[in-house]
């Protein structure tokens, strides 16, 4: 296992009283993100509707890493709720509130209550590469074959 990274968390006023994001099991890949919507104003997502759902936290992700915002499989399998831009990318230099773009692909309206665990964030290494313009690409066995060129 590599070195354990520390992620700073800043709680915004509208996250007052919410549990801190946490890894739910000892070996969980991601920590869950909760909806920081008002307790008296749950968000109703109609079928095919999407919403930018606040989490109430700012995350300080170390340089060389990213946060990947991913759907929860239970919400997806049971209700058709997923992240529209999965995996969402949280940059290491982002200091705004992390939000989750949820979409309801199910047939029924879905209600998001305050504190509901709506998505998870996985911290992953993401080195920045050096981009170098070239006249042509080097040859490979695959060449330009793609999009099913090896069969189905």
Q: Please give the residue ranges that form the binding site for ligand DUT (CB under 6 A).
A: 69, 85, 88-91, 94, 98-101
Residue 80: how many other CB atoms lie within 10 Å: 17
- Residue closer to ligand DUT by CB (options 30, 88) is 88
CB 10 within 8 A of CB 57: yes
Cα–Cα distance between 70 and 119 in angstroms, integer? 6
Consult the annotation and say whether 151 binds a ligand. no
87 preceded by cis ω (within 30°)? yes
Residue 47 gets which letter from DSSP? Answer: T
Nearer to ligand DUT, 37 or 98 (CB): 98
Closest separation in Å from C-beta 45 to ligand DUT: 16
| Residues placed in the known binding site | 72-74, 85, 89-91
| Residues placed in the known binding site for substrate | 72-74, 85, 89-91
């Amino acid at each position: 296992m590599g070195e354990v990274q520390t992620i700073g968390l800043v709680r915004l006023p509208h996250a007052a009283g919410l549990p801190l994001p946490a890894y739910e099991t000892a070996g969980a890949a991601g920590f869950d993100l909760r909806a920081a919507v008002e307790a008296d104003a749950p968000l109703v997502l109609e079928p095919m509707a999407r919403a930018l759902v606040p989490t109430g936290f700012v995350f300080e992700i170390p340089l060389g890493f990213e946060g990947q915002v991913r759907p929860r499989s239970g919400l997806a399998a049971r209700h058709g709720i997923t992240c529209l831009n999965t995996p969402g990318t949280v940059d290491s230099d982002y200091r705004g509130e992390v939000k989750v773009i949820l979409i309801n692909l199910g047939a029924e309206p879905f209600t998001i209550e305050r504190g509901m665990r709506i998505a998870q964030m996985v911290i992953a290494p993401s080195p920045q590469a050096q981009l170098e313009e070239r006249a042509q690409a080097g040859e490979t066995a695959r060449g330009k074959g793609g999009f099913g060129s090896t069969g189905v």
